[in-house]
Chain A
Amino acid sequence: MRKKHMTVAPPDPNAAVFIKDLTYIYNPRTPFEKTALDRVSLTVERGDFFGLIGQTGSGKSTLVSHINALTRVQRKYNEDAGLYVCGIDLTVKKPDLKRLRERVGMVFQYPEYQLFADTVRQDVAFGPKNLGLGEEEIEERSREAVRLVGLDWNEVADRSPFELSGGQKRRVAIAGVIAMRPEVLVLDEPTAGLDPAGKRELLALFEDIRRSACPTIIMVSHNMDEIAERCNKVAVMGGGHILGVYAPEELFSRRELIRSLGLELPAAVELSAYLAEHGVDVPPDCLTEERLLAALIERGYAK
């Protein structure tokens, strides 16, 4: 008889995501068996702007897809594992997926490819409609979501999403997720493929959204400048493990770790280190453009 599944209680009621010893194996017991997650533990607190980095194939996507239960916990490999998202236990046989999907919003890579409706209004309303909300509530949420992503409702509501620019399409897709009023927003490479202005605007929007609508954001990104600028904590993944959770300052001072993982340093760290090495009086680890500029000004270089 198989051992009864133990329930691990979340130690912290404030945790938006609590993961303990989570394992996931692709194609188990076949020649293609691959352990994508190997006893991964991680806690994301309410209010975190949490970064998740690691090379392609490190397990980021598998981990993230557990958070909204697109990938279900493999119960037989996870008898003593814990996975709670917004207090919902996802290790049980029948987790409350309806409640989960109300609380966790997921923005996939290139989300604009998933637009489908005839108008922006219909596209954004699709999620709230599925929640079974009334017409008025749906409209109110849609308007709010479209405003939050920086678009003008009156201008776009009745247009086809397909005639908008690439950056606008992406915003509409994100509005569709925001309109669900999630508590946790998961972003997978949210700025990939956007031009620099589009990137900057979208990141600023996420910060607004975090302050006003959705307190917890988890962002998967290869762009270390974005991670350095926005995240308060960063988990590093490699080979199906969490190699560490760091404050960005600490993470990017670990050059060897970053290099060994095939990741990059933020451009500002790279530049300040180069300047410091070449005789400029500046700390070698300025995390962002603003900090590097401030350091140069403080030391009298702007005169």
Chain B
Amino acid sequence: MEEANKTIISVKNAVYKYNRDTEDEVTALRGVSFDIAEGDFVALVGANGSGKSTLARLLNALYVPDEGEVLVGGVSTDTGDSDKLFGIRRTVGVVFQNPDNQMVASVIEDDVAFGPENLGLPPAEIRERVDYALECVGMSEYKKGTPFRLSGGQKQRIAIAGVLALRPKVLVLDESTAMLDPRGKKEVLDVVERVRAEDGMTVVMITHFPDEAARADRVIALDGGKVVMDASARKALSDVETLRAYGLDAPLPARIAYEMRKRGALLPDGIVTAEDLAEALCGKNI
């Protein structure tokens, strides 16, 4: 199964500065390195200002690193070759935080078709991709409607459909649920589950919410522009103290287990979910 573990994104010692060489220079990333393999589901976490969103923009060549490099499918994002750049953006699709900033057309199916049209695909192929993408996010019945009257969750699903219509290998969600209500959040997370399960898509989810991060297989935490944790979700999310030190939270079951251990309870390591906690506690009281 060598192919299943093929590296799709490789970030090597990436440094990124805003307003470089001016008085207002701010270093957002200070030498970040990690690899993402095809099929990975990675949660990228970090406090406000830790560099997460900058990193998202490095992954599809919206920004290129000032030092180090980012490789997508083995190709450096620092390229003047527009074919290569095109390839990178087809490989990595990014969905941002604010759904209102990502709508380009006044009819939903036109909005979703915007990407494939720009790929210069034949009309039949565009049709097929748009239908597939809308089906994927459960919005087929709205295709003739206008995006402006949709709820936040529905708009965000349309934004995801626009990205899926490009058939990317990697879906990057940059706090795509932050502005949504609980129902909207759930709608978006269900779509993520679906493309994971059905297409085995590689997903990088940037989030503040510990319960969202718990859906991933692996957690990468940033602080001050550096990677401070890169571990399995279970290991990372049960490490309450380390997460707190970086302004983050562990899921509630992990926090409860942590407080109980502090008070002398002997509980196993790696408690993250309600299930883990119930199992550890059952039969524990006398």
Contacts and interface: CB of A to CB of B under 8 A. Distances in A.
A165 B282 CA distance: 44
B208 A280 contact: no
Please list the 3 inter-chain residue pairs (A to B) with the smallest Cβ-Cβ separation, ordered nearest first. Answer: A196-B249, A197-B247, A278-B278
A262 B260 CA distance: 32
A302 interface: yes
Nearest to A278: B278
A56 interface: yes
B156 to A, nearest CB: 12
Contacts of A167: 48
A179 B218 CA distance: 45
Interface residues on A, range: 35 or more
Given A56-B152, A195-B208, A289 B252 contact: yes
B121 to A, nearest CB: 35
Contacts of B175: 193
Contact of A198 (B47, B211, B265): B47
Nearest to B244: A197
A303 B264 contact: yes
Nearest to B248: A196
Q: With a 10 A CB-CB cut-off, give which of A194, A222, A279, A296 has the most chain B CB atoms.
A: A296
B260 A296 contact: yes
Contacts of A198: 47-48, 247
A279 B253 CA distance: 16
Contacts of B281: 275, 280, 296, 301
B274 interface: yes
Contacts of A275: 274, 277-278, 281
Interface in A44-91: 55-57
B48 A271 contact: no
B247 A196 contact: yes
Nearest to A160: B24
Interface in B180-239: 181-184, 208, 210-211
B184 A56 contact: yes
Interface in A265-284: 267-268, 270-271, 274-275, 278-281
16 contacts: A165-B48, A166-B49, A192-B179, A193-B175, A195-B46, A195-B48, A196-B247, A196-B249, A197-B244, A198-B48, A222-B182, A267-B252, A278-B275, A293-B260, A301-B260, A301-B265
A55 to B, nearest CB: 6
Contacts of B249: 196-197
B4 interface: no
A55 B154 CA distance: 14
A267 B210 CA distance: 11
B248 A195 contact: yes
Contacts of B181: 55-56, 222, 262
Given A275-B277, A299-B285, 12 more contacts: A193-B179, A197-B244, A197-B249, A262-B183, A263-B182, A264-B182, A271-B252, A275-B274, A278-B282, A296-B256, A300-B285, A302-B263
Given A56-B181, A262-B181, A271-B274, A195 B151 contact: no
Q: With a 10 A CB-CB cut-off, give which of B97, B264, B278 has the most chain A CB atoms.
A: B278
A267 B265 contact: no
A297 interface: yes
B4 to A, nearest CB: 34
B282 A55 contact: no
A196 B179 CA distance: 15
